[in-house]
């Protein structure tokens, strides 16, 4: 995976003045748009969109210092007007392109190179488990994709569940963990866009078929899962584990993410300082 990311950095570097193909980048890394963007964000500390913007402006800065005309640079990097380029460049560097040319002001943002960084000698607890086909029955909603913090749309979905729906879900729940699951799937494409949506379901795992009109059902085929237990302050421990899965475990695990809904659950108690949760990542062995 590290080699694939470095190959992608080379690809981006040679296409900075073009519209960068999300489909081609997805092929290079071998991940879905959503999982790649999430993994890149955790590994790089910024979004892919911001990285490409930083590289474009950094290279443009050098070209301006070396005597390129603002008009040529603006159109070279895809802007429709000099004014639009100048405004965006000033937001990035703090200076207008004309000031950079006059005073030889250099702001740089180097190309990324990914390496394996072994941190602290702390191993992640996980297990690989094969699960037979099962169903999840619950309620769902299209919600904005959000990597950090509480997602208000998901909170609203949870608050909308009626007492009748809760009782019906409990009647069907006959599989571990016998409590509420959070399930994410059907991610929007839009590779470089910061905004997008996914479907989020709140429900229970079951071997039964859903007989209730006010509940929905999705089926999960037999598959492998990497299961990561967490215990500690919530939501910080839960979010840190997500970050480590993508940035530290997945690149060297010998597995890749399968195209199956991701699942997690949280055992809430009276204290937010010691909450147990599990993250289930659908995986398949790398070829």
Write out the residue limits of the CATH 1.10.10.60 domain(s) in the chain.
2-103
The SS3 call for residue 198 is strand
The SS3 call for residue 276 is strand
pLDDT band for position 193 (50/70/90)? low
Write out the residue limits of the CATH 3.20.80.10 domain(s) in the chain.
127-285
Look at the pTM and tell me if it is higher than 0.85: no
Across the chain, mean pLDDT equals 87
Over residues 103-113, the mean pLDDT reads: 87
The top-level CATH class assigned to 2-103 is mainly alpha
Strands 275-285 and 255-257: antiparallel
Q: Nearest CA to 106 among 143, 61, 145?
A: 61
End-to-end Cα, the chain, rounded Å? 12
Q: What is the pLDDT of residue 124?
A: 67
Q: What is the pLDDT of residue 183?
A: 96
pLDDT band for position 161 (50/70/90)? very high
Q: Which tokens hold the place of 183?
A: 């399930």
Q: Which residues contact 213 (CB under 8 A, 6 or more apart)?
A: none
- Give the pLDDT confidence of 113-141 residue by residue, as tens digits: 876 554 444 456 889 999 999 999 999 99
pLDDT band for position 265 (50/70/90)? very high
Percent pLDDT > 70 in the chain is 93
CATH topology of domain 127-285: Multidrug-efflux Transporter 1 Regulator Bmrr; Chain A (3.20.80)
* More confident call, 151 vs 83: 83
């Amino acid at each position: 995976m590290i080699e694939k990311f470095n190959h992608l950095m080379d690809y981006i570097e040679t296409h900075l003045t073009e519209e960068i193909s999300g489909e081609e980048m997805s092929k290079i890394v071998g991940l879905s748009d959503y999982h790649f963007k999430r993994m890149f964000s955790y590994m790089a500390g910024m979004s892919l969109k911001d990285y490409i913007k930083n590289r474009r402006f950094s290279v443009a800065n050098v070209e301006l210092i070396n005597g390129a005309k603002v008009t040529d640079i603006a159109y070279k990097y895809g802007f429709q007007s000099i004014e639009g380029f100048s405004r965006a460049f000033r937001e990035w560097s703090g200076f207008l392109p004309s000031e950079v040319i006059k005073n030889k002001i250099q702001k740089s943002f180097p190309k990324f190179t990914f390496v394996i960084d072994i941190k602290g000698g702390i191993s992640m607890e996980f297990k690989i488990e094969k699960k037979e086909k099962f169903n999840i029955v619950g309620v769902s909603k299209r919600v904005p994709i959000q990597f950090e913090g509480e997602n208000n749309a998901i909170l609203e979905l949870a608050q909308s569940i009626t007492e009748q729906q809760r009782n019906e879900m409990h009647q069907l729940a006959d599989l571990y963990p016998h409590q509420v699951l959070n399930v994410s799937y059907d991610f929007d494409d839009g590779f470089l866009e910061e905004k997008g949506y996914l479907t989020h379901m709140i429900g229970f795992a079951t071997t039964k078929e859903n007989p209730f009109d006010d509940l929905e059902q999705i089926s999960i085929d037999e598959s492998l899962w990497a299961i990561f237990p967490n215990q500690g302050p919530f939501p910080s421990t839960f979010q840190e584990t997500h970050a480590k899965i993508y940035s530290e475990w997945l690149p060297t695990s010998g597995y890749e993410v399968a195209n199956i809904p991701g699942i997690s659950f949280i055992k809430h108690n009276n204290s937010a300082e010691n909450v147990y949760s599990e993250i289930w990542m659908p995986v398949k062995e790398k070829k």
